[in-house]
Chains A and B, each alone.
Chain A
Amino acid sequence: MKHRTGWILLGLAPFAIMVLAFQVAPILSMLMGSISKPGVPGFTLNHYDKIFHSAYYLQAIKNSLLIAVYSSLIGIIVGLFCAYSITRFTTKIRDRLLMLSNMTSNFAGVPLAFAYIILLGNNGVFTLLFKQWGWDVFADFNLYSWSGLVLIYVYFQVPLALLLLYPSFYGIQEQWKEAAALLGARPWQFWRTVGIPMLTPAIFGTLGILFANAMGAYATAYALVGGNYNLLAIRIGSLVAGDIVNQPEVGSALAVLLALSTLLAVYLNHRMSKRSQQFTASYASGSSSKRIRSRKQQWNATKEEVGT
Chain B
Amino acid sequence: MNQRKVGWTHRSLMLLLMIYLLLPLLGTFLYAFAKEWQTTVLPESWTLEWIREMFRDARFLDALWTSLYLCLISVALSLAVMLPAVFVITVYFPKWETFMKGLVVLPYAVPGVVAAVGLIRTYSSGFIDITGTAYILIGAYFIVILPYMYQGIRNSLLTVSAVELLNAAELLGASRMRAFVTIILPNIWPGVIISTLLSFSVLFGEFVLTNMLVGGHIQTIQVYLYQRVNESGHLASAIAIAYFVFILIVSTVLMKLGKKFNKVVGR
Taking the complex as formed, is A210 at the interface, i.e. its CB lies under 8 A from any CB of chain B?
no
- Bound-state CA distance A109–B3 (Å) is 38
Interface mask (B92-108 → A, CB under 8 Å = 1, otherwise 0): 10000000000101111
CB-defined contacts of B146 to chain A, threshold 8 Å: 19, 23
Report the nearest A residue to B42, measured CB to CB: A125
CB-defined contacts of B118 to chain A, threshold 8 Å: 25-30, 255
- Interface contact B121-A248, CB-CB below 8 Å: yes
Taking the complex as formed, is B117 at the interface, i.e. its CB lies under 8 A from any CB of chain A?
yes
Q: Which of B28, B103, B143 lies in contact with A111, CB distance below 8 A? A: B28
Q: Which of A21, A106, A155 lies in contact with B205, CB distance below 8 A? A: A106
Interface mask (B219-251 → A, CB under 8 Å = 1, otherwise 0): 000100110010001001100100110011001
Interface mask (B55-77 → A, CB under 8 Å = 1, otherwise 0): 00000000000000000000000
- Interface contact A109-B222, CB-CB below 8 Å: yes
CB-defined contacts of A109 to chain B, threshold 8 Å: 205, 207, 222
What's the least CB distance linking A171 to chain B, in Å? 14
CB-defined contacts of B140 to chain A, threshold 8 Å: 22
- Bound-state CA distance A218–B212 (Å) is 11
Q: Which of B10, B143, B207 lies in contact with A110, CB distance below 8 A? A: B207
Interface residues of A in 12-49 (CB under 8 A from B): 12, 14-15, 18-19, 21-23, 25-30, 33
- Interface contact A240-B37, CB-CB below 8 Å: no
- Interface contact B114-A89, CB-CB below 8 Å: no
What's the least CB distance linking A96 to chain B, in Å? 10
Taking the complex as formed, is A135 at the interface, i.e. its CB lies under 8 A from any CB of chain B?
no
- Bound-state CA distance A18–B233 (Å) is 40
- Interface contact B38-A99, CB-CB below 8 Å: no
- Interface contact B121-A252, CB-CB below 8 Å: yes
Interface residues of A in 158-210 (CB under 8 A from B): 158-159, 162
Q: Which of B21, B24, B105, B113 lies in contact with A116, CB distance below 8 A? A: B24
Stretch among B11-19, B46-54, B156-164, B181-189 lining the A interface: B11-19
Q: Which of A11, A113, A125 lies in contact with B27, CB distance below 8 A? A: A125
- Bound-state CA distance A108–B222 (Å) is 11
- Bound-state CA distance A258–B64 (Å) is 32
Taking the complex as formed, is B168 at the interface, i.e. its CB lies under 8 A from any CB of chain A?
no
Q: Which of B1, B37, B113 lies in contact with A236, CB distance below 8 A? A: B113
Taking the complex as formed, is A284 at the interface, i.e. its CB lies under 8 A from any CB of chain B?
no
The residue among A78, A85, A100, A266 with the most chain B CB atoms within 10 A of its own CB is A85
- Interface contact A103-B248, CB-CB below 8 Å: yes
Interface of B is mostly: helix
Given contacts A18-B142, A114-B237, contact A90 B14 (CB under 8 A): no
CB-defined contacts of B24 to chain A, threshold 8 Å: 107, 112, 115-116, 119, 155
CB-defined contacts of B37 to chain A, threshold 8 Å: 125
- Interface contact B116-A240, CB-CB below 8 Å: yes
- Bound-state CA distance A78–B16 (Å) is 11
CB-defined contacts of A217 to chain B, threshold 8 Å: 111
- Interface contact B113-A128, CB-CB below 8 Å: no
Interface mask (B191-226 → A, CB under 8 Å = 1, otherwise 0): 000000000010001011001100100000010011
Taking the complex as formed, is A129 at the interface, i.e. its CB lies under 8 A from any CB of chain B?
yes
- Interface contact B18-A218, CB-CB below 8 Å: no
- Interface contact B229-A110, CB-CB below 8 Å: yes
The residue among B103, B208, B215 with the most chain A CB atoms within 10 A of its own CB is B208
- Interface contact A15-B114, CB-CB below 8 Å: no
What's the least CB distance linking A287 to chain B, in Å? 14
- Bound-state CA distance A8–B103 (Å) is 20
CB-defined contacts of A8 to chain B, threshold 8 Å: 88, 92
Taking the complex as formed, is A259 at the interface, i.e. its CB lies under 8 A from any CB of chain B?
yes
- Interface contact A4-B111, CB-CB below 8 Å: no
Interface residues of B in 137-164 (CB under 8 A from A): 139-140, 142-143, 146
Q: Which of A22, A101, A113 lies in contact with B119, CB distance below 8 A? A: A22
- Interface contact B88-A11, CB-CB below 8 Å: yes
Report the nearest B residue to A8, measured CB to CB: B88
Given contacts A85-B13, A102-B251, A118-B237, contact A259 B111 (CB under 8 A): yes
- Interface contact A23-B106, CB-CB below 8 Å: yes
CB-defined contacts of B14 to chain A, threshold 8 Å: 82, 85-86, 89, 97
- Interface contact A259-B114, CB-CB below 8 Å: yes
- Interface contact B121-A30, CB-CB below 8 Å: yes
13 additional A-B pairs beyond A26-B117, A100-B21, beta carbons within 8 Å, are: A4-B176, A8-B88, A12-B88, A15-B85, A23-B103, A29-B122, A85-B9, A114-B240, A115-B24, A119-B27, A216-B112, A217-B111, A258-B113
Can you identify 20 A-B contacts, CB atoms within 8 angstroms? A11-B85, A11-B87, A19-B103, A19-B143, A25-B118, A30-B117, A85-B17, A89-B10, A104-B21, A107-B25, A109-B207, A115-B25, A118-B28, A128-B39, A216-B110, A218-B112, A233-B113, A241-B120, A248-B120, A262-B114
Mark A residues whose CB is within 8 Å of B.
4, 7-8, 10-12, 14-15, 18-19, 21-23, 25-30, 33, 78, 81-82, 85-86, 88-91, 97, 99-104, 106-119, 125, 128-129, 132, 155, 158-159, 162, 212, 215-219, 222-223, 233, 236-237, 240-241, 248, 251-252, 255-256, 258-259, 262-263, 266, 270
